[in-house]
Amino acid sequence: MTGDGGMAPGLATRADLEACREAIRVGSRTFHAASFLLPIRVREPALSLYAFCREADDAIDNASDPAPALVTLTNRLQRAYRGEPIDNAADRALADVVARFHIPIDIPAALLEGFAWDAEGRRYEELSDLRAYATRVAGTVGVMMSLLMGVRAPHALARAADLGIGMQLSNIARDVGEDARMGRIYLPLGWLREAGIDPQRWLQQPESPSCPWNAVPPSTRRG
């Protein structure tokens, strides 16, 4: 550890860590604000980890084809785990974090897969399918945050994953209308059909007054 309780010296320089912090301050203001509630010993590793995740999400989301973007990111992840990160602040910081906290590579790899599912516009027929997505994009984050906090008991990690999944499902429920207006749908398609709603037709007219979530004023949909 450093004198202020941050990350121990490693591949990442102090400038790298500052770059990660600044990237989150600008690109993920909610997480940046929430990070101040974390103990100092957890805050810096969390910001470093999230900086790589943020870059990965943007890289896949902005790619014309998510498949090659996922291959590139998987290579970056593997290099970080070998202690040979590419010349990038977030990658060097990630290499230090995963080595120091012994984070299995399968966890961030699953997160990258979830980002790719998003970029593909994948839809989910049943709740179990949606949970598989939520496990990747949010359950993994809960597990990694627990590992940063020194929690490794299997039952505790399972509950951390459940918390992440629950938060993701809550976000999906909150943003149904907003997502639809962007051509995205996360609700289980089987649920919609059971309610007499054709998913594709509804996406073409998400402002239909018959949709119950449109009764909520847009200004109140986000807490």
Looking at the structure, tell me whether residues 3 and 82 fall in a common domain: yes
Exposed/middle/buried for residue 209 (C-beta within 10 Å: 0-12, 13-18, 19+): exposed
Indicate the SS3 state at residue 8. Answer: coil
Whether 112 maps to a domain, the answer reads: no
pLDDT score at 219: 42
pLDDT score at 5: 46
Q: pTM for this structure?
A: 0.85
- Cα angle value 12/15/21 (rounded, 5°): 90
pLDDT score at 68: 93
pLDDT score at 206: 79
pLDDT score at 218: 44
pLDDT score at 7: 54
Q: Residue 79, Cβ neighbours under 10 Å: how many? A: 15
> What does DSSP assign to residue 7?
P
Looking at the structure, tell me whether residues 82 and 142 fall in a common domain: no
Whether 69 maps to a domain, the answer reads: yes
Angle between the N-to-C axes of helices 106-120 and 40-61, in degrees from 0 to 180, rounded to the nearest 10: 40
Whether 118 maps to a domain, the answer reads: no
Looking at the structure, tell me whether residues 33 and 93 fall in a common domain: yes
Looking at the structure, tell me whether residues 17 and 77 fall in a common domain: yes
Looking at the structure, tell me whether residues 135 and 88 fall in a common domain: no
Domain count, the chain: 2
CB-based contacts of 150, cutoff 8 Å, min separation 6: none
Looking at the structure, tell me whether residues 37 and 84 fall in a common domain: yes
In this structure, are residues 187 and 80 in contact, taking their beta carbons and an 8 Å threshold?
no
Tokens 């790899």 -> residue: 109
pLDDT score at 2: 44
Q: Could you state, in chain order, the average pLDDT of each consecutive group of 10 residues for the chain (223 residues)?
A: 50 94 90 89 94 93 91 96 96 96 97 94 96 97 96 97 97 92 93 92 73 46 37
Residue 87: give the domain boundaries.
Answer: 1-103
User: Distance between CA atoms of 176 and 202, rounded to whole angstroms?
Assistant: 12
pLDDT score at 10: 84
User: Distance between CA atoms of 5 and 39, rounded to whole angstroms?
Assistant: 9
Domain termination site, one of 38, 72, 103: 103
Domain termination site, one of 103, 131, 166: 103
Looking at the structure, tell me whether residues 69 and 11 fall in a common domain: yes
